[in-house]
Structure formats: structure tokens, C-alpha cells
Amino acid sequence: MTLNEKIGQMTWTHVYGSSANDTSMAEQNQKRYGVDTPAQVVEKYNLGGVLYFAWSGNTNNPMQIAKLSNGLQETAMGESGDGVPLAITVDQEGGLVARIGPPATVLPGNMALGATFDPGLAHAQGEILGSELRAMGINVDFAPVLDLNSNPDNPVIGIRSMGEDPDVVSSLGVEQIKGMQQYVGAAAKHFPGHGDTSVDSHYGLPIVTYDRETLNKHLQPFQAAIDAGVDMVMTAHIIVEAIDPDMPGTLSHKVLTGLLREEMGFEGVITTDALDMAAMADEWTQQEIAVMAIQAGSDILLNSPDIEASFAGVRAAVASGEITEARLDESVRRILEWKVERGVFEKPLADPDEVAAVVGNSDHLATAKQISDRAATLLRNEEQTLPLAPGSSVLMVGAGSGWPELMGPMLADQGFAVTEEYENGSSPSEAYRARAVAAAEGVDAVVFTSNNATGNTAQQRMVEELTATGTPVIVVATRNPYDISVFPNADAVINSYGVKKVNFHGVVRAIAGEINPSGKLPVNVPRADGGGILLPLGFGLDYGTKATPADVVFTNRPGRGQDAYTIPAAEGVDYLIDGEIVDAGTYRKARSVSVTAVAEEGYYFDDATTSWSYTFTTGLPG
């Protein structure tokens, strides 16, 4: 390989367009790369990999993605077919960060998965991600996130994390990797741990100041991933003072070589996080970043905003002896070996016939719903507010950022009489709050979607004003799981860990009593004033013991005096007629009767028949 070809193998970046020869985004390609099409970008720089995004036109639908992947691979391999195939990559974590939407399977996300505490579901999630990406010609998923979300104020990780317990995150992370790597390469991120930052590295350079003992907890999931054979590790643009107080991990030899390679024994491929993030781009030039990242130990320069500058910087460093060509050879060899071992050389192209059969198939969708069912986490349930009685009237409101308009129709589908009041934005206006309060007066319950309400006083005020009406208020916390701390008067609080329909699936079923909530907090929830822990990791309520109502029996005989209905005796079940509890037994002389079953305190129903109605005939004996 020439020097430029070696630098190209180490350069993985995005391209604009929905097919290899698409010219519809030529303006963007020209501005960034000086050529018109995705294929021309690959050819110009001899790229080692490409990175797909929705905003760059790459992920419109599964079949289009497969054709784009195949077109780019054919470009990379050349007319003779003996060129080096591409790493085709994407950030498809599931949940909040997913570059490919429906009809691909939409997953509830990592923190929802963490709330299940179930390694089997983690493995299944990895299989879903890996198999669907492979069907679309993608061979690397920049996932899973192994950061411990130990800082409630973390602005960038949050529900992308599986939690803050290193044992749980290690177990779930390893199973995701094992499931994923049956099909594609996985990348554990963001090393050495981005979970305790209060600055988003997209916009600034975070610094973590904890000691080595604390760092070791953040390293534990990465060590577990390395021991399990993860293909890649992605670096974090953060300064970890316990290892290197001067340089961010991406540019630190102490972090990437000393810690990751030598101490932790990682022999796979190291990739930077995107080099266009402010934590990098605001501090150094792209020439400097490229050189320092390679010197630190990275094999891949990911998504540089100025590839020409990156190439120039590396060429100049080789010419001056600052970087040896042998050092580049180490990374290129590692990348090529990965492409061989991962089967990229053997099978570079997607099979279009697999797309429809694999992507978003019924089994995958069922697993996503199962994760949602298992994730719904009930944190408060005063006076058994939940589950709501069948047919209850409900006011559906919330912060616009909590997407209540998705949840309202789902509650209606459960048979609730739903009144909907919505407003865009994360901070409910005074006028919207007043409309909601007025509407709350005439319903059985209010459902409010919050979204990171710990930092939003307007959401806090709205819930407080709703609770003052005396109507029971159910808060569905749709983002980070800490909102309960600022809603002391809400009657019930349940966490969904996301705002997609699949996140609401389990929560709605729990509200309706179709499932018994079983999710547990994957993090500690601090008190609002910072004075200790409000709810500990692992906390979660349920509805109690499952009860199954026995059917009411109606006996219709000739002659009104012979008609009868029998109320059965069933553990945990009360039978009501006209709102009054009726004892078990046989009753006569009724013209018509309607009976409803309700769960006694400490019991719940799961997919049970709960109402019976019958009108007796009035004929004379024959």
C-alpha cells in the first residue's frame, strides 16, 4: 500500500447520498470532500470505512440501505473485485440513538434493558441489532454503550446507559456483544467511561476527577467486554485525571496504550469517537488531532470534519519522523485482519432477499415489546391508583418533549375514555397548564408525561397544579429515571425510559392492568435537594399477587322465578353489582344483571375477563 492508501484504511467517515452514485446531495459532498457522490468519496480517499447517518441521506429504508452498502462495496473492491472491502458502520444502539428507524425493529433502549436485569433479553437485543444490520450490508455497530450512568446530571449518556451497577452493566453488555457478534462487529464505548460527566463532549471537553478506585468501577464493563472478545473499543473525548490529567482519552497514550492495550490486554481495533465533536475540534486542529490520536494508539480516525487536513497532518508527521510508517502498518494490519476475521472479505455484499425476511420481522418486534413490558418501572402507587379500573376516564397531557400524543391513543385502545390536551415544547406554558387543570376536574385520572423534569420547573409546576385538583395524577417519566424526586405529590410514577411507542407499550399495559410491573431501577435516584438517596438501585413496586376472576354463571330457565346467577368465590377477587360488593352465592329473580370483578388489595389481574352482563328471557314454562 502507498502511504495515502494506509491513511485511507485508517479513515472512516460519512458520505452524503442514498446510493453509491447519488448526486442529489452533491453540494454537501463537494463542500466537504470536493467530489459529487458517495462512491467518489470512497475512491478519492481509499476509505477504510463509511459511517451511516439519517441526516446524510443514508438510511431511508432497509432495501435502500442494502443497495447503498453494495454499491459502496463494489466501488471499494474495484472492477476486478480484488480491492479492500469497506467497514460499513452505524450507531444503532437501540432507543435514543438509532440511525435506522421503522420498519427496522425499534427497541426501547439500553436503560429500559437495564431495568429488566435480564441477560437473556440483552442477548436477544444484540441478535436483533446484529442480524438486521447484517441484512442491510452493515458490518459494524458502534454499540453497546458500556458507560455507567452514575451522574444524574449527565447530559449525553443518560438512558443510553444500561445503568450504574458495574456488575449488571458488565453482564448485559457482554450478552449484547455475544448476540451482536454472531453477525457484525461490536464496539464497546465510550472508553474509559463517559457516565460520570456533566459536560456533553459534543459541545465541550469533560473532565472527571474521581480516583483510580472509582475509575476501576467504570472500567469493569470494558474489561468484561474485552475478555468476551469484543471486536472494537471506541474512545471517549474526556479527560480522566486519574490516568492523564492533561489529555483527553482519545489523544492520550497513557489511556489508549498504557491502560487499554497494556494493562487491560485489548488486542482488537481502537476507534476514536467522531472527531468533529467540540471536545476535539474546538481545542486542536484536525492535523494535530489525527497525529495525536495515532500516537495515542488509535487505529481509526472517525468522521474527521476535514479529511484533507487529517491526511496532510499524518503525511507531514511521517515525513518528519514524528510517526513512523511502521506505526501506521500496525493499525492497517489490525484493520485488515479484522476484515478477514469478521468475514468482510469473504462476504462483503448484502443479500437483498434477506432484507424483508430479517429486518423488523415479527419475532424481533415481539422481543422489543417484551423488553418494554419487563422494563416498566413503578416507583410510586399511592392508595393503589394503578391499575386504573376498566373504562376509566383519563386526561392525557404532558410536556411536549415527553410525546404524550403517542400515549393518548394507546390508552384509548385499552378502552379508556381519553381526553387529550397537548402542547409542543419541553416547558408547559401557563395557558396550557390552565387548560389541563380545568379538564382534570371531570375525569377519573390524569396521565402526565414528564421529560427530564428535574431541571424543568414548568413541568414541576404543572404536576403540582394538577395534583391540587384532587384528581389522581399518574406521571410517566419518559427520559432519565430521576423525575420522581421532583414530584412529591404525584399519586403514581412509572418510568418508560424513552418516548417511542415501544417504550409506552409496557407502561400503557401496566396502567391498564394487563401486566404486573416488574422493572427495577438500574440506577440510584437521589433526593431533589441532594441529601442522599431517595430510591435505591433495584427498587421497583408491583401490584402484588396475580389473581384470576372465575366466570359468573347465568342460568336462564323458563319462568322468571327460575332465573339465577351465581357469583363465584375467587381468591383476591371482589365482585361488584352497581358498585357494591356481592358475596359469593346464587341469586334469583333478576331481569338483567351486570357484574364487574376488581382485584382486592395486594392482588392484580393479567389479561383476565373482568365484566359480565346478561339479560334473562321472560317466557312461561313450556
pLDDT of residue 48: 98
Do residues 541 and 378 make contact, with C-beta atoms less than 8 angstroms apart?
yes
pTM of the model: 0.89
Mean pLDDT of 203-221: 92
State how beta strands 11-13 and 49-52 pair. Answer: parallel
The 10s digit of each residue's pLDDT in 436-476 is 999 999 999 999 999 999 999 999 999 999 999 999 999 99
Q: How confident is the model at residue 203 (pLDDT cuts 50, 70, 90)?
A: confident
Q: How confident is the model at residue 559 (pLDDT cuts 50, 70, 90)?
A: low
pLDDT of residue 494: 98
Rounded to whole angstroms, the Cα distance separating 398 from 396 reads 7
Quick one: DSSP state of residue 145? B
pLDDT of residue 546: 83
Mean pLDDT of 254-275: 97
Rg of the Cα atoms in the chain: 29
Rounded to whole angstroms, the Cα distance separating 200 from 147 reads 14
State how beta strands 492-495 and 553-555 pair. Answer: unpaired
Do residues 242 and 212 make contact, with C-beta atoms less than 8 angstroms apart?
yes
Quick one: DSSP state of residue 255? I
pLDDT for 561 beyond 70: no
Q: How confident is the model at residue 66 (pLDDT cuts 50, 70, 90)?
A: very high
Q: How confident is the model at residue 618 (pLDDT cuts 50, 70, 90)?
A: low
Tell me which of 200-204, 252-256, 446-450 is least confident. 200-204
Cα–Cα distance list, 506 to 102, 143, 405, 516 (Å): 19, 24, 16, 10
pLDDT for 348 beyond 90: yes
**Annotated catalytic sites, by residue?**
202, 273
pLDDT-above-70 percentage for the chain: 98
Average pLDDT, the chain: 95
pLDDT of residue 622: 37
State how beta strands 269-271 and 232-235 pair. Answer: parallel
pLDDT-above-90 percentage for the chain: 88
